[in-house]
Amino acid sequence: MTSRRPASSHLPRSKGAERENARPKGAAILAVGMTPEQAGSVTSRLFGALGAEIVTAPFEDLENVRLSDVIAVVSPVVSAAFDAVDVAQRLALLGFTGHYVAYAPTLPDRELVRQEVREAAPDLAFEIIETGRGPYLAAS
């Protein structure tokens, strides 16, 4: 039986040994721009039960993550601080060779987003997933 890693962790913003210890130690999923709670919910919905460690990092801290231990990166297509093109460009610049998955409830033109990301980072394995909006409350 294998031991289960912590459900999620957050990279500290301080420099030094503490940051080194917080880096992923094996196969990990990196959730960009999400809280640990959001990351746990989103990654389980998108990836199922892979058993991988979930690590969160703000977009501006991507260069501080040891990407060689990351099997997949997940982020929203658009957030207040970045979009999927920004993340793809940064990952390509940092030499990331895993998979990048961006998600959104719905997209008006999914292929346009895919094309923009592929133009920005042509060697990156990229996928977009539309999660849907979920149930709505019925009006009485």
Three-state SS for the chain is CCCCCCCCEECCCCCCHHHHHHCCCCCEEEEECCCHHHHHHHHHHHHCCCCCEEEEECHHHHHHCCHHHEEEEEEECECCCCEHHHHHHHHHHCCCCCEEEEEECCCCCHHHHHHHHHHHCCCCEEEEEECCCCCCCCCC
pLDDT tens-digit series, residues 21-74? 344 556 799 999 999 999 988 888 888 766 678 999 999 999 999 999 899 999
Residues 95 and 75: their CA atoms lie apart, in Å, by 18
What's the whole-number mean pLDDT along residues 102-113? Answer: 94
Structural domains for the chain:
9-130 (3.40.50.2300)
pLDDT of residue 3: 31
Banded model confidence at residue 18, pLDDT cuts 50, 70, 90: very low
pLDDT of residue 26: 64
2 pLDDT higher than 70: no
16 pLDDT higher than 70: no
pLDDT of residue 6: 37
pLDDT tens-digit series, residues 80-98? 999 999 999 999 999 998 9
121 pLDDT higher than 60: yes
pLDDT of residue 114: 96
* Amino acid letter for position 71: I
